[in-house]
Amino acid sequence: MEDPRVTKGLTAKRESRAVEFKEQFDPTDNRQALEVLKDIVAICNAGGGTLAIGIDNAGKGCGSDVQSVLDYDHAKYCDLIKKYTMQNFADFELIEAKKDGHAVAIFLINPPDSPLIFEKPGTYAIDSSHQKTVFSQGTIYFRHGAKSETGTTEDLSRFLQQRVREMRNELVKGMRRVTEAPRGSQIQVVSRRTVAKVAQEAVPVRMSSDPKAQGAIVVDRDQIFPYRQKEFIERLKDALPDGPILNGYDLQAINKVYNIAAQENLSWKPHFSVRQYSEALVEWIVDKISKEKDFPQATRRRLYEMNQKNK
pLDDT digits (tens, 9 = 90+) for 240-298: 887 788 888 888 889 888 888 888 888 888 766 678 899 999 999 988 888 888 888 88
Q: Per residue in 13-70, pLDDT tens? A: 999 999 999 999 999 999 999 999 999 999 999 999 999 999 999 999 999 999 999 9
Contact residues for 68 (Cβ-Cβ < 8 A; gap 6+): 26, 27, 28
Chosen domain end from 117, 133, 159: 159
Last residue of a domain, one of 159, 177, 198: 159
279 found inside a domain = yes
For helices 279-291 and 295-310, give the axis angle rounded to 10 degrees. Answer: 100
Q: The whole model's pTM is what? A: 0.60
Helical ranges in 205-247 per DSSP H: 221-224, 229-239
With respect to residue 298, please indicate whether it lies within any of the assigned structural domains: yes
Q: Nearest to residue 106, comparing CAs of 15, 31, 10?
A: 10
Contact 22, 52 (CB under 8 A): yes
- Per-residue pLDDT averaged across 103-110, rounded? 95
State which residues form the domain around 82.
4-159
Indicate the range of 50-54, 173-177, 197-201, 205-209 predicted with least confidence. Answer: 197-201
Distances (CA, A) of 136 to 43, 58, 149, 267: 18, 30, 12, 43
Pair 222, 121 in one domain: no
Q: At what angle do helices 229-239 and 279-291 cross, to 10 degrees?
A: 50
Do residues 219 and 136 both lie within one domain?
no
